[in-house]
Amino acid sequence: AQSVAQPEDQVNVAEGNPLTVKCTYSVSGNPYLFWYVQYPNRGLQFLLKYITGDNLVKGSYGFEAEFNKSQTSFHLKKPSALVSDSALYFCAVRVVRNSGNTPLVFGKGTRLSVIA
């Protein structure tokens, strides 16, 4: 069975400082990894994905994430946080196989607060 862990329920960071939101995963097979953000009373917005290739992927709004196969991690990063980045962040994974794709499985989410 596949699973995603986001070890921090809450991350606080000062505006202008770098931010990291952690994600580790467990799958049988090659993972397809995603990050989403959710603002209050809204659905999830796609930020970035890792399918294959370069371990560092760049996404929307200046976010990036690094895929680390040996540590089974896919941490989300941004060099300089903005107050408007304050939201709920979800990491997700699925495995694509010839026999059929697994559903997208989400972590519990990490609430990011950027303080001015």
Binding site for other proteins (CB under 8 A): 32, 34, 36, 41-46, 49, 51, 90, 96, 100-109
Those residues with Cβ within 8 angstroms of residue 53's Cβ, 6 or more apart along the chain or in another chain = none
CA 51 to chain centre: 13
Contact 29, 12 (CB under 8 A): no
What is the amino acid identity at position 113?
A: S
Tokens 């990491």, residue located: 91
